[in-house]
Structure 1
Amino acid sequence: MTDTYQHVTVLLDEAVDQLVTNSDGVYIDGTFGRGGHSSRILQRLSANGRLIAIDKDPDAIAVAKQRFAEDPRFEIVHASFADLAEIVSQRSLHGQISGVLLDLGVSSPQLDNPERGFSFMQDGPLDMRMDPSQGLSAADWVNSAAEKDIADVLFVYGEERHSRRMAKAVVAARQVAPILRTHTLSKIITDANPAWEKGKHPATRAFQAIRIFINKELDDIQTCLDASADVLTSSGRLVVISFHSLEDRIVKRFIRKESKGEQLPRGLPVTQDMLNIRMRTLGKAQKAEADEVTDNVRSRSAIMRVAERI
C-alpha cells in the first residue's frame, strides 16, 4: 500500500519517554495511526519486548502490516481501543502491560483525504467513520436524525452555541435534497452560523461534534481508560494525548478519581489501602513546545497527561 497522506506525530519523544520504562515490557499503542509512536516505541524495546498496536481504520492496518510485518515484537489489531480489556485477556496478559498509549482524535491522513468525509475544507462523501465498514455514516445520520437530536449533538460534542439554528437549517435542506457531500453540509452550517470565530472555519465545531458522535469517541475513551487500570502492571504507565477539551476533561477526571480512590463518607474508620487507589499522577499536563507548533499547527491544542499504576 502506498500511503500518500502523511501524519506528523505530536509529542513523539515526550510521550515515548514517559511510556517506556522497561525495555523488556509489553506495551499497547491504542491509536496506531501511521505508526509514529509505534516506531519510536519499538526503537526503545529489547528483543524480549512486545508491542500490540490497535486501530479502527483499515488504512492504518494496511500501513502497519507493510511497515512492521517483519518485526516479531509487533502485532497489529483491527479494533477499537475500547476493546482493550478483551484484547489483553485474549493474550493472557492481564496485569502484565507495562504501558498504554492513546493519541486521541482524528489523524492527518483521515482529515486530508476527502474520500473519508472528515473535512469541511475539501469536498467528499459525507462519511466520517474511522472504520468505514461498520456503523452509521454521517450522511445516514444527518439525513435521518430528529432536529432536536442534531442540535443536542452539536451542542454537547461541539460546544456549538448556534446548534439549534444549524440543526433547523440541516433539516430544512435535507427536505429539498439528501445531504451526501461534505461541501454541502459545510455550506449549510456556515450559512446558519451568525457569529464566525476569528481564525476558525464556521463549520469546525459542527463537523467535530458529528465525528465524535458517529465514532462514539468519548464513550470509547472512558471504556479504555477504565480497562487500562486493570491491565497495567505495577508501575505501568498510562500516557494520553488529547486534542479536545471534552477528551481532556474525561482523562483528567479519570486520573484524579483513580488517584484519590473510593469516595466514602467522612468519618468512616478506613485505612489508606482500603480506598482502592490504583494510580498516581506523574507531573503536570504537558503541551507541545513552540517549535513543534510552528512545524505542525495541529499540535497547538495537544495536551498530554501521564499516570502510573500503583
Structure 2
Amino acid sequence: MNTAHQSVMLTETLEIMAIKSGSVVIDATFGSGGHTQALLDQGATVIAFDWDTEAIERGVVRFKAAIAENKLFLIHESFSKLAEEVANLKQTEDLPISAVLFDFGTSSEQLMSAERGFSFMGDGPLDMRMDTRLAVMAKDILALVPEKQLEQLFREFSGEVHARAIAKAVKQSPTPITTTAQLVDCIAKVTHRKAHGLHPATKVFQALRIAV
C-alpha cells in the first residue's frame, strides 16, 4: 500500500491562486513539499515553513538545488512565527509576497509512522512532537498534568464525552503510560466501542496532538 502523502486538490488550488512566474509565495505548511514543488514548477520563489523536523530534513535533501539558487527558503518554524520570520528574511532579501498557502492537518506519513506516536493504529512511544527540539512529549503531559486539567484538555480539545473517566484511568494507572498501545488499552477499559463509528481513542489522541 502506498502511504506517501499526496497534496489534496493540488490542481484546483493552483488554478485559484493563478501564480505568475517570478511571484513570491509562502507555503505555510510545507509537509512533503507537494505544493512547494508545484509552485516552483510555475516559476515562483517559495518561502516554506514547517515545524516538523523530519519534513525539514527531507526537504533540505529533495530541494537542495532550489535552496542553493535562492528559489526556496525553507524555514524550520511553525507558521505562527510567519510574520516574524518573513520580516527577518526581508532584511537581506527582496521578497514581495504575492500569496500565502495553508494546508492544515496531519499527513498520512506522520500518522503511519508508529515511532512518532501520532496515531493509535500502531504501537510506539507517546511522543507526538512535530518539532523534536521541543522537550515535552505526549507521555509527559499524561504524567505531569493533574487529573482535572487532563479532563479539561480532553474535553476542550476534542469534545471527548468520557473525558473525566479517561483522565481518572490515566492518573490511576499502576504504571506510567508511555506508549500508544498502553493509552489505547487504558481508554478501552472505560469506554464502549460502537460497532460503527469512531475508534474510542480517536478524540483523546486528537487532543494530545493539539496539546503537544
**TM-score, normalised to structure 1's length?**
0.63
Find 2:74's aligned residue among 59, 73, 76: 76
Q: How does 1:122-141 map to 2 (within 5 A)?
A: 122-141=122-141
Note if contact 1:23-1:44 (Cα within 8 Å) is conserved in structure 2: yes
Find 1:184's aligned residue among 171, 182, 185: 182
Secondary structure of the residue aligned to 1:51 is strand
Note if contact 1:118-1:211 (Cα within 8 Å) is conserved in structure 2: yes
Change (3 A) 1:125 1:195: closer
Structure 1 residue aligned with 2:97: 97
1:61 aligns with 2:56: yes
Note if contact 1:22-1:98 (Cα within 8 Å) is conserved in structure 2: no
Change (3 A) 1:94 1:120: farther
Structure 1 residue aligned with 2:42: 44
Q: How does 1:179-218 map to 2 (within 5 A)?
A: 179-194=177-192, 196=194, 198-214=196-212
Structure 1 residue aligned with 2:109: 109
CA distance in 2, matches of 1:90, 1:62: 22
Shift of residue 59, structure 1, vs aligned partner: 1.1
Deviations 1:57-109, CA, capped at 9 Å, x for gaps: 12111111111111221121111111101111012279931111111121111
Change (3 A) 1:189 1:40: same
CA distance in 2, matches of 1:196, 1:32: 36
Structure 1 gaps of 5+ residues are 215-310
Identify the structure with the greater strand proportion: 1
Change (3 A) 1:94 1:148: farther
Q: After the TM superposition, which parts of structure 1 deviate over 6 Å for at least 4 consecutive aligned residues?
A: none
CA distance in 2, matches of 1:17, 1:65: 27
CA distance in 2, matches of 1:109, 1:83: 24
Deviations 1:245-297, CA, capped at 9 Å, x for gaps: xxxxxxxxxxxxxxxxxxxxxxxxxxxxxxxxxxxxxxxxxxxxxxxxxxxxx
Number of equivalences: 206
Letter in 1 for 2:123: D
Letter in 1 for 2:155: F
Structure 2 gaps of 5+ residues are none
Note if contact 1:139-1:180 (Cα within 8 Å) is conserved in structure 2: yes
**TM-score, normalised to structure 2's length?**
0.90
Note if contact 1:19-1:99 (Cα within 8 Å) is conserved in structure 2: yes
Secondary structure of the residue aligned to 2:47 is strand
CA distance in 2, matches of 1:195, 1:70: 50
CA distance in 2, matches of 1:111, 1:195: 21
CA distance in 1, matches of 2:194, 2:153: 19
Shift of residue 195, structure 1, vs aligned partner: 5.5
Note if contact 2:177-2:183 (Cα within 8 Å) is conserved in structure 1: yes
RMSD over aligned Cα atoms:
1.9
CA distance in 2, matches of 1:208, 1:138: 11
Shift of residue 197, structure 1, vs aligned partner: 7.2
Change (3 A) 1:195 1:183: closer
Letter in 1 for 2:178: L
